[in-house]
A and B are shown apart, each in its own frame.
Chain A
Amino acid sequence: MLWYLGRRLLQVIPVFLGATLLLYAMVFLRPGDPVAALGGERGLPEAVQEQIRAEYNLDKPFIVQYLLFLRGVVTLDFGVDFRGREITEVIANAFPVTIQLALMALAIEAIFGVGFGLFAGMRKGGIFDGSALVVSLFFIAVPTFVVGFVMQIVVGVRLGWLPVAVGRDPDFISLLMPAMVLAAVSFAYVLRLTRTSVAENLSADYVRTARARGLRRSQVTGRHVLRNSLIPVVTFLGADIGALMSGAIITEGIFNINGVGGTLYDAIIRGESVTVVSLTTVLVLVYIGANLLVDLLYAALDPRIRYA
């Protein structure tokens, strides 16, 4: 087990190097000159541009720039962005709200997806099952921003139940609606996955045998159907943590949240390679961590899986 964990952690190094190199190259190859664009319509004097380039090491060859970035990673000093803010500070500002949003969305999709999915799967072919399938198909088909705007108008403006947008200080209540919007698509997938899994497990031999030894229906459902059905669902949820964090760009835009999405979008527009790569690298690390967590959870749920 420890051996497995060690090996998995060692794998982070090549993934990190490969990902950052690719990202750095992509931002470097992006058309346009970010420094020239800083001056706006009138432009900056040539000498000033030269000075800025030298300050941000943009006059050096690609590989040198990349190695300087790596040094920044090791020393935890990424430098400053074009507006003079420390990049570490930018990261520290952007991530907490996005993490909170993603975890709320994860909780929503897990609780409601598994709950409704279990109910639908137990009565496969029933009215609830049919409606759940239609509703989940709807969430999968309709784009996130449509769901977002409709909810803003209905729940936020007409009914006035929840704040329409998140301000400078995000709290639980104001993040509730964005979290629901962010969770919508994954909720539909979790529901369908749970439903199929439950329906399949219901007809498993060991479920029948459990009933034959006198267990009540509720005991059979909780102990034998649900736990076995959760195995594929947990895999999906784990992989979704990463997707929720990076996928929040649209949702953050709609609800005016200053999270990773917005910050990343601005940095890409301005061509700040170091900011873009730093933010994305953190996301890559989140993905790797989530995957590792899934694999460990998987082993906890299913004793047949042992890592060596």
Chain B
Amino acid sequence: MTTQFPVTNEGADGTAGPAPFDPSKPLLEIRDLEISFTTGVGEVQAVRGADLTVYPGQSVAIVGESGSGKSTTAAAIIDLLPGTGKVTGGSIRFEGRDLVTASRAEKEALRGRAIGLVPQDPMSNLNPVWRIGTQVEEALKANGFKGSKAALRERVAEVLAEAGLPDATRRARQYPHEFSGGMRQRALIGIGLASRPQLLIADEPTSALDVTVQRQILDHLEDMTRDLGTALLFITHDLGLAAERAEHLLVMFKGKVVESGPAREILADPQHPYTQRLVASAPSLASRRIQTAHVHGEASAELHAHHVGEAPVAAGPATVVEAKNLTKVFQIRGPRPGSSADFTAVDDVSFTLGRGRTLAIVGESGSGKSTAANMVLGLLDPTSGSVEFDGVDVAALNPKEAFAFRRRVQPVFQNPYGSLDPMFSIFRSIEEPLKLHGVGSPKEREARVRELLDMVSLPQSAMRRFPNELSGGQRQRIAIARALALKPEVVVLDEVVSALDVLVQAQILELLDDLQTELGLSYLFITHDLAVVRQIADDVVVMQSGKVVEQASTDEVFDTPREQYTRDLLAAIPGARLEGDALAG
């Protein structure tokens, strides 16, 4: 990242750079685009009359939730619609030529050379069996690179170096699995820009990466496209990110473009109701903790009176969970065959979770936050240190007590698609913990399931349905209902909203906050997303490589971060730079 390579419009292979900047003539012009997918039940329209214009050198962002048609629109431009997708109406003009009616050969000639793509998930978008360099070579050769083998190899190294990979010659000989996610995305950006296209489509290029890496990658992408004069079509679900990275914004909702205009204008003065909701709930732009009926500690007891039978064992010490010097060492395969090495995933971590409060553990992937959570849940034994629950060491419990302990601490996991058994009806999923712990008669259990569904604001009729019939947000509600079935005191929430769309994410966070107030729950909230932390947490523990970097109340961490790492994380929140700037108006 520190090495800056000269980026020129003229590639070493002699391919011409993008056409001279002519802001008056649109590079890409989409009019009344309609795209349908053929499914078992008939045609499903994914895009209904979308308009979009990109001028040379301009950066345009399409924002929308999943299913809004934003990625479908982008895929249609390069004719790579998945499955049965088909353009059924409208036109896509690139430099005046209609791509919808173009032949396959014409479109193949355009791909890579005139329009580049940076895909979403760097983990799955490089072929695992070919070297990185080979995959760059392919892109160059397919787009008219003429030159000797040595020149080709040189150009490959150049492409990778431009994308910000240090030691590019050696890196080119490595395989994708030897690269980290950020490095793979750099390689993919390099491939996307290798043949100097006039337009680069970046489809959620960083949503699979850690925030700090995300920022570096996007900064680099911005620099490169600006220096090369490449127009950028940026697709994202994150409004803050879009506003920060693009001049022009388009908001898509249910296959239509509902609003478009200069990024800052839209943020400051959204016109369409959907955009208004989006601006209001974008976590990267929200600046305060959700304030519903949030009352702490003793005051919440009053509220419990309305829920007979729901009141937890509210009495007791103010601290419900205390982790003392937790350390977890894993044995991993060593450098030599048969040898093993120690890997310290969690290193001397201590924290306390107050009753009725929310403690967030924040960190990037590999920081040890999930390992710490698993130790609190009693799913992993600490190598040293202890987890005390109401002053009792969890590790010292006998099997019977440990079983009873499970009722008091319940988890909700990140992926609601994976954590619900697809063969279980919703009723069976929620009832299972009750059955397992022998709670009540079948009739009482059914009543309890109905009550739980009410609590998470789902209709009772959802009971008879199956996970595949529900949306991601609804599934996460089911997972929360299941966690609450046994009336736990502590809920461990492991990245519960990171797989959800922004608006759904906001709803789930509000639901969690309401439930906390109603039931006096204590939350251990594991997340990589500091923006979410600000909305839900009272206290924060920042972890990096297994160690606690900073530990304080949420306000302190956000207002006066003490450590550099925390400051980096805060600065990396998309939209952070916009705050108090455009939004002030």
Nearest CB of chain A from residue B234's CB, rounded to whole Å: 16
Stretch from B48-56, B188-196, B454-462 forming part of the interface with A:
B188-196
- Residue of A whose beta carbon sits closest to that of B339: A308
Decide: A301 near B129, CB < 8 A? Known: A203-B82, A211-B80: yes
A208 to B130, CA, bound (A): 15
Please state if A302 and B191 are interface contacts (CB–CB under 8 Å): no
Stretch from B114-122, B162-170, B317-325, B361-369 forming part of the interface with A:
B114-122
Please state if A208 and B142 are interface contacts (CB–CB under 8 Å): no
Stretch from B3-11, B38-46, B104-112 forming part of the interface with A:
B104-112
Please state if A205 and B128 are interface contacts (CB–CB under 8 Å): no
Q: What is the size, in residues, of chain A's interface with B at 8 Å between Cβ atoms?
A: 28
8 residue pairs, one from A and one from B, having the closest CB atoms: A214-B112, A212-B117, A205-B124, A213-B139, A214-B142, A206-B127, A213-B112, A214-B111
Stretch from A26-34, A184-192, A220-228 forming part of the interface with B:
A220-228
Q: Name B191's contact: one of A204, A213, A217 (CB within 8 Å).
A: A213
Please state if B108 and A216 are interface contacts (CB–CB under 8 Å): yes
A3 to B194, CA, bound (A): 41
Question: Chain B, 91-110, contact with A by CB distance < 8 Å: what is the 0/1 string?
Answer: 00000000000001000111
Nearest CB of chain A from residue B472's CB, rounded to whole Å: 20
Please state if A224 and B117 are interface contacts (CB–CB under 8 Å): no
Residues on A with beta carbons closer than 8 Å to the beta carbon of B80: 208, 211-212
Please state if B129 and A213 are interface contacts (CB–CB under 8 Å): no
Please tell me if B125 contacts chain A, counting CB pairs below 8 Å: yes
Nearest CB of chain A from residue B34's CB, rounded to whole Å: 22
Residues on A with beta carbons closer than 8 Å to the beta carbon of B73: none
Question: Which chain B residues have a beta carbon within 8 Å of chain A's beta carbons?
Answer: 78, 80, 82-83, 104, 108-113, 116-117, 119, 121, 124-131, 135, 138-139, 142-143, 175, 177, 188, 191-192, 194-195, 333, 337
A160 to B129, CA, bound (A): 47
Q: Name A215's contact: one of B110, B121, B142, B337 (CB within 8 Å).
A: B142
Please tell me if A158 contacts chain B, counting CB pairs below 8 Å: no
Please tell me if A85 contacts chain B, counting CB pairs below 8 Å: no
Q: Name A212's contact: one of B78, B124, B333, B337 (CB within 8 Å).
A: B78
Please state if B128 and A209 are interface contacts (CB–CB under 8 Å): no
- Residue of B whose beta carbon sits closest to that of A231: B129
Main secondary structure of the interface of A (DSSP, over half): helix
- Residue of B whose beta carbon sits closest to that of A307: B337
Decide: A209 near B188, CB < 8 A? Known: A228-B129, A302-B129: yes
Residues on A with beta carbons closer than 8 Å to the beta carbon of B121: 205
Please state if B111 and A212 are interface contacts (CB–CB under 8 Å): yes
- Residue of A whose beta carbon sits closest to that of B192: A213
- Residue of B whose beta carbon sits closest to that of A208: B80
Q: A205-B121, A214-B143 are in contact. List 13 more A-B contacts (CB 8 A).
A: A208-B82, A208-B125, A209-B125, A209-B126, A210-B135, A212-B112, A212-B119, A213-B143, A216-B142, A223-B127, A227-B129, A228-B128, A303-B131
A207 to B125, CA, bound (A): 8
Residues on B with beta carbons closer than 8 Å to the beta carbon of A308: 333, 337
